[in-house]
Amino acid sequence: MSVRDDIADQLGVDLEGFDPIRVVLYGTLVGLVAFYLSPLESGLMTALKTEAEFATSPPFVPPTADGFTLEPFSVAIDTLASAILNSIMLAVPATILSALLGSFAAYGLTNFEWRGQLGVVTLFIAGIFIPYQAVLIPLSRLWAIVNTKELLAPILDITLFSVQVPVLGTVELATHPHYASIINLIITHAAYGIPITTLLFRSYYKKLSTEMLEAARLDGASAFTVYRRIVLPLSTPMFAVTLIYQFTQIWNDLLFALVIIPSGSGPAAVATIALNELTGGIIQTFNTQMAGAFVAALPTLLVYILFGDKFAKGVAGEA
């Protein structure tokens, strides 16, 4: 009988498969999980406390019965509602546009051969490495010259948008002339996203079977039909990757929004800008700030949940 079996007998438990190294490993892992989740937990707890409760308890401790309130969330939702709708109006089209255009470009750059192709690919790759800051001034100059509202006037009167939201009543989205700047922002983000989405799609399209695409051509399909009926349906996992990536990028962007939306805040402000309104002036209201952060982060979370399994496939490179 070994020592371990002795101990097991005395304790009356089965120690078969017990491994001290495993205990240490799991202990460390649990510690790491706690470490990484603590800011999130503290944030959530803070958002559920009254200001008085927040002042008297450590941030990570759950609120007491007296100190519990959902008010920070309602304040945050009230303040951010229209900004979040603005952000959705920005992020959804900009994400879809950059993913779709990236996919087009990658198809043309990968599955066809033409002169000067490599030079164009190089330009696309170079585009990824241009920092946002480097283009701020040209960008603001550009949108100062281009009057989107007037340009679009014949096809779209963008001051007329208003949206009925069940809980919040009528949200006047576009009665402000600055609303046109959301369109500017969509175009900017779409353009800025194309290099990275193109590169992602390109690496994916390189792995598509050449023989399969040739078979489709021999079957009578035109280049565009091959894209629509073969390449596009096979790109779903990569679309999940680019959609999630671009949505997160665009949703969380502050720099372009600050530069392109002239008034800084106001009716056309996006969520990242509007968050600033929750700081509470001289006395910092941490609970509403935290609630605001959660509200503003919710859409990205939803996108991850919706496309998560496809995302995993795309990252793993499965077709």
Partner 1 sequence: MADLTLDHVSKFFDDDGSKVVAVDDASVTIEDGEFLVLVGPSGCGKSTTLRMIAGLETVSEGQIRLGDDRMDNKPPRDRDIAMVFQSYALYPHMSVRGNMRFGLEESTDMADGEIDSLVEETAEMLGIDDLLGRKPGELSGGQQQRVALGRAIVRDPEVFLMDEPLSNLDAKLRSQMRTELQRLQEDLGVTTVYVTHDQTEAMTMGDRIAILNDGELQQVATPLEAYHRPANRFVAGFIGEPSMNFFQMEVHGDTLADDSFTYSLSPESEDAVSGSEHVTLGIRPEDVELVADGSADHTYETTVDVVEPMGNENAVYLDFGDESRFVATVGGMRRVEAGETVYAHIPEDAVHLFDASSGDALKNRSLESVELAEPEPQA
User: Which of 225, 252, 265, 279 forms a contact with partner 1 (CB under 8 A)?
Assistant: 225
Residue among 20 and 220 whose Cβ is closer to partner 1: 220
For residue 235, the minimal CB distance to partner 1 (Å) is 10
Judge whether 83 and 269 are in contact, CB under 8 Å.
yes
Q: Any residues with CB less than 8 A from the CB of 19 and at least 6 apart, and which?
A: none
Q: Which of residues 187-216 bind partner 1 (CB under 8 A)?
A: 209, 211-212, 214-216
Does the footprint of partner 1 cover residue 174 (CB under 8 A)?
Answer: no
Give the 3-state secondary structure of residue 70.
coil
Q: d(Cα 318, Cα 268) in Å, to the nearest integer? A: 40
Residue among 235 and 287 whose Cβ is closer to partner 1: 235
For residue 249, the minimal CB distance to partner 1 (Å) is 28
H or E segment and range at residue 163: strand 163-165
Q: d(Cα 169, Cα 97) in Å, to the nearest integer? A: 30
Does the footprint of partner 1 cover residue 222 (CB under 8 A)?
Answer: yes
Does the footprint of partner 1 cover residue 217 (CB under 8 A)?
Answer: yes
What does the per-residue mask of binding to partner 1 show for 244-283, with x meaning CB under 8 A?
----------------------------------------
Judge whether 260 and 268 are in contact, CB under 8 Å.
no
User: Which of 234, 254, 258, 297 forms a contact with partner 1 (CB under 8 A)?
Assistant: 234
Distances (CA, A) of 234 to 231, 239, 303, 319: 5, 10, 20, 6
Residues of the shown chain interacting with partner 1 in the complex, contacts defined by CB under 8 A? 209, 211-212, 214-222, 225, 229-230, 233-234, 319
